[in-house]
Every structure is written in structure tokens, then in C-alpha cells.
Structure 1
């Protein structure tokens, strides 16, 4: 009987403030869309790091015949210098950091260049002698690339040491900043949602102030009086959470899985499973949002 009364009061309150309830649901929806997008972006960043960092190599390019680099002032790297770098990479000192070493000769570099630039003028003008010897070093732990780079840099015959990680960092920086932007917008929208929920509950409580006064006179508990108002806010916030989860699910399914993932299959993108992982946290956030807003408002506006 009491449950039926609480539910009837909740439905009555929603119908009285339908426009505000819809507004709360929409603002909560937008807020949680940004929160969910930020979480999914962070998952995507971690996926890319796990996938690409494992493939990061440090490349040591030996001095070619013509180079303006100070380290190559004595001309092209000699065979002794090449052997010295190879011995260093295979030494016990670097064994904990180096997983595999590949030596690219001038012929290998020339063949790779011809394959990549097959239809260009450069392919006809470049000769094998103009290529340079290089070492491709796969690391045990890509996070420790600096140790290997420091050992190779400045050695006789080494023109430059290139870390592929440096080419990936700008991408991850952009993605991380996009995540922070999403979270910042989400915070603004969540504050807006809290204000709307408190306003909705306040209006509902004020419109039924006489009813709550009578309920208090006949001995109704605070929880029994306040529960309908709390359920109004929870219903609106929960509706927004469901919309947010649905929007993220459809966005990932059609934009990521059926478009991006099929056009770039070598990239490990997020999927709908990640959305379902994030979904419970979004629903929980909506419940907490409504709960906090209710506690802030009801103590004052349900007094006699």
C-alpha cells in the first residue's frame, strides 16, 4: 500500500513538472555522453599504446658518404665502425634492453626505397651508393628506449638515432588532451544537471508543501515523505543515463566498428564491449547525481 502511494506520488510529480523532468534527462544525457566519451577515448589511448609501443624500434643510421652532421665529419661510416655498433648492440650491457637487432645494408635500403618510391622521379635518380647502413633495434621494454638511444648517440660513424616513439607521442598527446576536454565539458554539464535536478525537486516539493505537512502531522517518516521526490530525480537522471549508454553504443557500433575498424583493420579500436564496460559506471554516476541533488534540496523544502 505504501509502495503504491509512493509510486503514485512520484508519477504525479513527474506529470506536474514534465518539462523540467525532460530537461533534467536531456542534460544528464549530454553530461554522461561527455563522461563516457572521455572514458572511451582513454581506453582507446591505452589500446594504441599497448599495440604500438610493442612495435616501437630505435633506428641508428650510420653516416652516409655526404652528411653535414658533425659526427660524420670524417665521412662515410667505415666497416669497423659498423661492426663496433653491432658489437655494442649484442653486448651483455644492452642484453636486458635489446630484444632483436636487424642490420639494413645499403642494398636493403635501396630495394626498400625503390619499392616505396616506385612511381616517382626520385626512384630513377637515387643510386645504391647514396643509401646508408642502419640498425633497427626492437626493445624488450619500449619505455626504456632512452637507455639504448643514449648508448648509440654520439658514437663514431652514427649520424642520428631515431626513436619511433617520438612520432607517436604527438598523437597520444592530442588524444589525451581531447579526453581532458571531454571531461571538462562533462563537469560543466554535470553541474548544470545538478542545478536542474535541485530546481525540479524544489518546485515539486513547494507545490506539494501542504500535502507533506499533512503527512508529517499524521506521523509519516522523513524517508516516506522525501522518497517520491527522490524517485523523481532518480527517474530523470536514470533516463538520461540510458540515453547516454544507447548513444555511445550506437556511435561505437556504426562509426567505429563498421567504419573505422573496417577501413583501418591494423588499428585496435574500441568496440561495443568497451561501451558495456563503461555503462554501469555511467548509470551509477546518474544515481549518485540524483541522490546528491536530492539530499541537498529535500532537507530544506520538505519541512512543515
Structure 2
């Protein structure tokens, strides 16, 4: 009997404030979509780091003939200097950081250049003697690249030390900024959703003051009086959460997996399974939104 009464009150409240209920669902949908998009973007950044950081190398290019770098004032790197760098990379001091070391000779560098730049004028104009010897160092932990780079920079015969991670960091910084922007917009929309849900519950409570007054007179508890209003807010917020999960699922399925993954197959993109991972958190966030809004608004209008 009590359940039927509560459900009838919920139905009346939703029908009386249908426009506001739809507004609550839409604002919740937009705010949680931003939250979910930020979470998926952070997952994508983690995937990229896991894929690309494992391939990060520190390259030490030895001085070629005629280099203008201050460290190459003595001319082209001698065999002794090249061997000294190799010994340094194989030393006990760098053993905890260095996984593999590959020495690329002038001939190998020339062959690689010819293969990569076969259709350019440069490929026809350069000779083997103009290439330079280099060391390619694969790291055990790419996060510690600076330690190896610091050891190599300034050594006799070393022209320049190039860290591939430096080329990736700007991309990750942009993606992290996009994540922060999404979270900022989500925060604004969440505040808007809380205010809108609070207003909706207040209007519903004010329109039913007579019913709540009668319930007080017959001895109904605060919880019994407030429960229909709480359920109304929860339903509207949950509808928004379901729309958010559905929107993210469709976006990832067709925009990311079908389109982006097809154009860049070498990148591991987030998938629909990741959307399902964050879906419970979005639903929980919707419940928290409705709960916070109910606590803020119901005390003044329904408390016995």
C-alpha cells in the first residue's frame, strides 16, 4: 500500500513538472558526458603512453665532419671517442637504466636515409661520408630518460643527444589540457544540474504542500514524506546518466573504433569496453547528484 502511494506521488510529480524533469535529464546528460569524455580521454593518454613510451629511444649523434656545434670543435668524432661512449653506455653506472644499445655506422645511416628519403633531392646529393655515427639507446624505464641524456651530453665527440620523448610530450600536454578542459566544463554543468534538480524538487514540494500537510497530520515520517521527491530527482538524473552512457557508447563505437581506428591502425584507441567500465561511475554520480540536491531542497519544505 505504501509503495503504491509513493509511486503514485512520483508519477504525479513527474507529470506536473514534465518540462523541468526533461531539463534535469538533459543537463545531467551533458554534464556526465563531459565527465565520461574526460575519463575516456585520460584512458587514451595512458594507452598512448604505454604504447609509445616503450619505444622511446635516446639517440646520441657523434660529431660529423664540419659540425658547428661547440662540442665538435675538434672535428669529426674519432674511433676512440665512439668507443668511449659505447663503454659508458655499457658501464655499471648506466646498467639500471639502459636496456639495449645499438650502434649505427655511417653506412647503415646512409642506407636508412636512402630508404626513407628515396623520392627526395637529398637522397641524391648526400654521400656516406656526410652521415654520422650514432648510438640508439633503448631504456628500461622511459621515465628516466633524463639520467641517460645528462650522462651523454657534453661528452667528447658527441654532437647532440636527442630524446624521442621530447617529441611526444607536446602531444600529451595537449591531450592533458583537453582533459582538464572537459573536467572544467563538466564541473560547471554538474553545478547547473544540482541547481536545476534542487529547483525542480522545490517546485514539486511547493505544489504538493496540501498533501504533505495531510501526511504530517496522520503521523507520516520525514522519510516517507520526502521519498517521492527524492525518487523523482533520482529518476531524472538516472535518465540523464543512461543517455550519457549511450551517447559515449555510440561515439566510441562509430567515431573512434570505426573511423579513427580505421585511419590510424597503429594506435590503440579506447573501445566500448572502456565505456562500460566507466558507466557504473556515471550512474553513481547521477545518484549522488540527485541525493545532494534532495538534501539541499527538501528540508525546508517537507520537514515535520
Per the normalisation by structure 2, the TM-score is 0.99
CA distance in 2, matches of 1:276, 1:290: 22
Q: Deviation digits for residues 203-230 of structure 1, max 9, x if unmatched?
A: 0000000110001101111111111100
Contact 1:34 1:182 in 2 (8 A): yes
Distance in 2 between residues matched to 1:258 and 1:104, nearest whole Å: 39
1:232 aligns with 232
Residue 290 (structure 2) aligns with: 290
The yes-or-no answer on 1:277 pairing with 2:277 is yes
Partner of 1:260: 260
| Aligned equivalent of 2:171 | 171
- Give the match for residue 242 of structure 2: 242
Deviation at 1:95, TM superposition (A): 1.2
Q: Structure 1 regions of 5+ residues with no counterpart?
A: none
Partner of 1:204: 204
Matches of 1:245 and 1:36 in 2, distance apart? 8
Q: How does 1:184-203 map to 2 (within 5 A)?
A: 184-203=184-203
- Cross-structure match for 2:120: 120
Residue of structure 2 in register with 1:15 after alignment: 15
SS, match of residue 46 in structure 1: helix
Contact kept, 8 Å, 2:57 with 2:164, in 1: the verdict is yes
State the match for 2:60 in structure 1. Answer: 60
Question: Alpha-carbon deviation of 1:303?
Answer: 4.1
Query: Which segment drifts farther, 229-238 or 91-100?
Result: 91-100
Q: CA deviation at 1:265?
A: 1.6
Q: Hey, what's the Cα distance between the residues in 2 that align with 1:66 and 1:33? A: 57
2:150 is matched with 150
Query: Residues 213 and 303 of structure 1 are in contact (CA less than 8 Å); yes or no, is this contact kept in structure 2?
Result: no
In structure 2, distance between residues paired with 1:210 and 1:43 = 51
SS class of match (2:233): helix
Shift of 1:50: 1.3
Aligned to 1:217: 217
Retained in 2: the 8 A contact 1:58–1:149?
yes
CA distance in 1, matches of 2:303, 2:61: 78
- TM-superposed CA distance for 1:262, in Å, is 2.0
If the length of structure 1 is used for normalisation, what is the TM-score?
0.99
> Which aligned runs of 4 or more in structure 1 are off by greater than 4 angstroms?
none
Matched, 1:82 2:82: yes
Aligned residues: 304
Q: Is the contact made by 1:13 and 1:204 (CA closer than 8 Å) also made in structure 2?
A: yes
Using the alignment, how far apart are the partners of 1:67 and 1:249 within structure 2?
54
Q: Please report how far the alpha carbon of residue 301 of structure 1 lies from its aligned counterpart in structure 2 after TM superposition.
A: 1.2
Q: Is the 8 A contact 2:71 2:154 kept in 1?
A: yes
Q: What residue number does 1:300 align with?
A: 300
Query: Does structure 2 conserve the Cα–Cα contact (< 8 Å) formed by 1:28 and 1:237?
Result: yes
SS at match of 1:95: coil
Query: For the aligned residues, what is the CA RMSD?
Result: 0.8
Deviates most, 85-94 or 234-243: 85-94
CA distance in 1, matches of 2:203, 2:92: 75
Deviation by residue 1:22-79 (Cα, 9 ceiling, x = unmatched): 0000000000000000011111111111111111100000001121100000111111
Structure 1, residues 152-173: CA drift from partner, whole Å, max 9, x if none? 1101000000111111111110
For residues 109-151 of structure 1, the C-alpha deviation after alignment (integer angstroms, 9 at most, x for no partner) is: 1111111111111111111111110000001111111111111
For residue 94 of structure 1, report the CA deviation from its aligned partner.
Answer: 1.2
